[in-house]
Structure 1
Amino acid sequence: MAQQELKRDLANRHVQLIAIGGTIGTGLFLGSGKAIQQAGPSIIFAYFLVGIAVFFVMRALGELLLSKAGYQSFTDIAEDYLGPRAAFVTGWTYWFCWIMTAMADVIAVGVYVQYWFDIPQWVPAVICLIILLGLNLLTVKNFGELEFWFALIKVVTILVLIALGVVLLVIGFKTDAGTVTAKNIWGHGGLFPNGIQGFLLSFQMVVFAYVGVELVGVSAAETSNPEKNIPSAINKIPLRILFFYVGALVALLCINPWTGLTPAESPFVKTFSLVGIPIAAGIINFVVLTSAASACNSGMFSTSRILYNLSKNDQAPSRMAQLNKNHVPGNALLVSTLVISVGALLSKLIPGQAFGIVTTISAICFIWVWGVVLVCHIRYKRTRPELQANSKFKAPFTPFVNYAVLVMFAAILLIMLFAEETRPALLLTPLWFIMLFVLHAIRKRKGQASHAPLEQTHQ
């Protein structure tokens, strides 16, 4: 029988690229078009502000993970500081986050393949899931290698765009949209052309663009040297993401004014086409395809590990904790993949709304998970001062910054309530939490009932 422990087979480069690959995806390549239309050039500030907030969440998570060797994810942390009910709700919510996100990504894979081949969307979606499942069932190192190369394609594309923007800016290149100049950023209605309202409405898509960065926490149990790799990844990745997002957006808006971009098309495709690259649409379609596959790959990894940890903590069926001979939670991976495959069905039932609803619910649930991390860190500092005093990776400006970021997250949820597009998903999401609280209460009652006869026998 295989030893029932996850294998530590991820190197530092895997950990860093896992988080980058899980984050840079549809939120930037597709969602940024819609966000730019809502906020105009002020979208740059929105990405910067959310990026800074996520960095502080990551620092809090990093300190908590390294404060106790037994922690494998933030569900363990939630149980330690907020109790089993919070761990149950947070663990299943995080699983739900990635299930929803992976559903959207696998649907997108089918759409992108249709660019080249006239086949039903579900065919490439299923093929993608089968390939990713097969690779993930083998070893965790396969997941790391696959995600490394997926992420590398996206990173190279963004770096090329930024470099291209700098060159065109220096030589004053002229496109069909006009001269490439920094004035394009503020020269079409100012930095806030749609006012503060447009700026605030863009935050939902910006939050969704950053989901996945906390995968460093999920992969903590599988790093070869957590004490070295986790701090390194946490300190570097948020800054890199800020560079990729803010740098890419600045380049896009210098080459093409925000008024020339529409939500219906990728701003990347539009920009590469403007500078005279005829095969731009094909190139970017390939990048977006690998981007969707990458995010789906991250989702499969994350959901299987969350189910594994929930089972280990007796909050999910015991079979979900069984590892195969390669030290991979095979049952949990299979169950998660089957649920993700429901995404193809959703695309048939609500084709025009599926992606928007799924991504909004995902963003809301991620805000919950990030918020739980911050609350746990506040309690850690208050109740375990000896651990905090000996910490080698202290989160800065705490607890003030924790409260500030929590207020920011609450404000974003409030904005979603007033926005017509996000209001339905926001009003539906509480049903998920109510269901989890009820399920936990039922499980607790059954557990107490099963122990009662044993206690009477011993009396």
Structure 2
Amino acid sequence: MFLWRDSVRRRRQAGPVLFFQEVPVTHQPPVSSAGSGPAVLSTADPEDAFGHEQAGFQQHLGPRQLQMIAIGGAIGTGLFLGAGGRLASAGPGLALDYLVCGFIAYLILRAIGELVVHRPSSGSFVSYAREFYGERAAYISGWMYWINWATTSIVDSTAIALYVKWFGQYFHWLDAVPQGLIALVVIVLVVSANLISVKIFGEMEFWFALIKVVALLTFLVVGVCFVIFGSPNGSPTGFSLISEHGGWFPNGLLPALVIMQGVVFAYAAIELVGTTSGETKDAQKVIPKAINTVILRVLVFYVGSVLLLALLLPYSSYKEGESPFVTFFSSIGVNAAGPIMELVVITAAMSSLNAGLYSTGRILHSMSMAGSAPKFAQRMNSHGVPYGGILMTSAVALIGVVLNFVVPEQAFEIVLNIASFGIIGAWATIALAHLKFVSLAKQGRYRRPGYRAWGAPFMDWVILVFLAGVIVLIGFDYPVGTWTLGLLIVVIIPR
């Protein structure tokens, strides 16, 4: 704990600096002779310099779990719940938003994938920030990311409680159960599972992702059949719906542009693939394969689903607060769609909570090993689980339980906007770390592996410019976005 306090004190005394400073590389990094893995260029190897971060972790995640973690990280509650309101605002052109944001997400995945092949680490982008820019960069990016998932844990537990309470119309005894109690039970269950072993986490994510995939595939099959053969109730389907209701952007380009700052967060958790690398068997082969499958699934599940929704009903039929899939199935008389989709959204929120506890436990462990987080975060059990960091995040999640008891109606909105900046920080860190890695490779101090990010370093700059644009859009979202952005600037910039 004293090490952490000293580290914080030193940063305050250092005065204001850039978010990311270049630091001298004091070791000669690894070079791959065959392009498939690292080999030693000199006597100092990053595996030696940063290998202590991996001490105690166990490699129990396999290809089956990694494939689903990659898919699940790219399919969040934003599609199942948020796409309805966005369709109503932006129109069918929303599919283009998902396509653009999905492409950026894939670029980020490729960048983290190359860094993972370079050096697998449970510290993920925080460890890479430390390697290429020094401890200050790791400190800022790590704590921003922790704030994201800590606040997201409040959002997720609150959302799950709200969705469970929705079933009170079918099970009246649920009306008598406090929303806060449901949130508490959810947190206890997910935390307990995370504390057992990484294998349990992997299995939970596998089944959560599978449920989401099955739900989307069911919709896609039914929707395509209706577009080809017509709706059973005789209502029109197909591209004529788009042309007859104002075209692709019926409300103009501006709403579609503004909504992009919300769409991008539908892909939150894609960076989880990097965090799992330190606990994955043969990570340097398994993770690139998992990443390569993501782009096709993004096209099918996100772009395909949103486009299909626009081909099945007029965009104005969808509304805020209701799953667009429920809207569609209800329009054809499938009343069971509501309860089924509520269950799917619950599993998506459970998946997010599960992933947040997992990733912050590993990130805090990495930071603690370098003195940038309390020493308690270093603690691990006999199964290689960093329970110290997980419990620290859980403590914040319990604040959400209190909010659910005190202000159940406002609990969701209170913390939702803060979480988004942690994701932007994580993705920017990945792009910056990869940018420096490529730069050092050009100097001959690293050799890039066979698995490489597309178009580097140009695409790294594309990612950074895009994320800067998202921040600008959030800032224009007055008053919530403007005040949140201002608050974070005051908190993050050292004085």
CA distance in 2, matches of 1:387, 1:210: 33
Give how far 1:174 is off.
4.6
Paired residue for 2:212? 154
Determine the structure 1 residue equivalent to 2:367.
Answer: 310
State how far apart, in whole Å, the 2-side matches of 1:417 and 1:353 are. Answer: 22
1:267-325, CA deviations, whole angstroms, 9 ceiling, x for partnerless residues? 12111111221211111111111111111111111111111111122211222111111
Q: Does the 8 Å CA contact 1:204/1:360 hold for their aligned counterparts?
A: no
Alignment-mate amino acid for residue 13 of structure 1: R
The answer (yes or no) to whether the contact 2:120–2:284 under 8 Å persists in 1 is no
* Aligned counterpart in structure 2 of residue 53 of structure 1, from 96, 99, 104: 104
- The percentage of counterpart residues that share the same residue type is 36
Q: 339, 359, 367: which one pairs with 2:396?
A: 339
Preserved CA contact (<8 Å) 1:37 1:262: yes
Aligned position for 1:123? 181
Contact 2:123 2:365 in 1 (8 A): no
Corresponding residue of 2:89 = 38
- Deviation, structure 1 residue 219: 0.7
Q: Distance in 2 between matches of 1:319 and 1:364?
A: 26
Residue 4 (structure 1) shift: 4.6
- For residues 343-422 of structure 1, the aligned pairs below 5 Å read 343-347=400-404, 354-356=411-413, 358-385=415-442, 386=444, 389-420=447-478, 421-422=480-481
Q: Is the 8 A contact 1:208 1:360 kept in 2?
A: no
Deviations 1:150-178 (A, max 9, x none): 111111001101111101111111548x3
> Partner residue of 1:104?
155
Where 2:166 maps in the other structure, the secondary structure is: coil
**Aligned residue identity for 1:430:** I
Q: Deviations over 1:358-392 (max 9, x none)?
A: 33322222112211211121111112334654411
8 A contact 1:207–1:363 mirrored in 2: no
Aligned residues: 433
Of 264, 277, 280, which residue of structure 2 is paired with 1:220? 277
Distance in 2 (alpha carbons) for counterparts of 1:97 and 1:180: 41
RMSD value over aligned CA atoms? Answer: 2.0
- Asked whether 1:192 is paired with 2:249, we answer yes
Task: Tell me whether 388-397 or 324-333 shows the greater mean CA deviation.
Answer: 388-397
Q: TM-score, normalised by structure 2?
A: 0.83
For residues 79 and 322 of structure 1, what CA distance do their matches in structure 2 show? Answer: 21
The aligned residue for residue 386 of structure 2 is 329
Give the 3-state SS of the residue equivalent to 1:342 in structure 2: helix
| Counterpart contact for 2:60–2:280, Cα < 8 Å | yes
Q: Give the direction of change, closer, same or farther, for the CA distance of 1:49–1:352 in structure 2 (3 Å limit).
A: farther
The reply to whether residue 258 of structure 1 matches residue 315 of structure 2 is: yes
Contact 2:92 2:248 in 1 (8 A): yes
Q: Which residue of 1 aligns with 2:70?
A: 19
Does the Cα contact within 8 Å between 2:216 and 2:305 map onto a contact in 1? Answer: yes
1:126–1:341 CA contact under 8 A, matched in 2: yes
Indicate the residue corresponding to 2:46 in structure 1.
none
| AA of the residue aligned to 2:119 | K
Q: How far apart, in 1, do the equivalents of 2:400 and 2:209 lie?
A: 23
**Deviation of the 1:79 alpha carbon:** 0.9
Classify 1:355/1:234 alpha carbon distance in 2 versus 1 (closer, same or farther; 3 Å).
same
- Farther off after superposition, 63-72 or 278-287: 63-72
Task: Give SS of 1:391's match.
Answer: coil
**Deviation for aligned residue 1:328:** 0.6
Structure 2 unpaired stretches of 5+? 1-53, 168-173
Q: Report if aligned partners of 1:100, 1:362 keep a CA contact under 8 Å in 2.
A: yes
CA contact (8 A) 2:80 2:325 kept: yes
For the residue of structure 2 that corresponds to 1:422, the secondary structure is: helix
Match of 1:449 in 2: none
402-411 or 385-394, which deviates more: 385-394
- Check conservation: 2:179, 2:404, Cα contact below 8 A: no
1:424 aligns with 2:483: yes
CA distance in 1 between counterparts of 2:402 and 2:245 reads 42
- The amino acid of 1:54's aligned partner reads A
- TM-superposed deviation, 1:134: 1.4
Counterpart of 2:489, as a letter, is: P
Cα distance in 2 between the residues matched to 1:419 and 1:289: 28
Cα 1:69–1:216, aligned 2, differ >3 Å: closer, same or farther? closer
Write the distance in 1 (CA, Å) between the matches of 2:482 and 2:380. 41
Give distance in 2, aligned partners of 1:387 and 1:251. Answer: 49
* 1:293 equivalent in alignment to 2:344: no
Name the CA shift for 1:388/1:255 in 2 (closer, same or farther; >3 Å).
Answer: farther
Could you tell me which runs of 5 or more consecutive residues in structure 1 were left unpaired when the two chains were aligned: 439-459
- Please, what TM-score do these two structures have when normalized by structure 1? 0.89
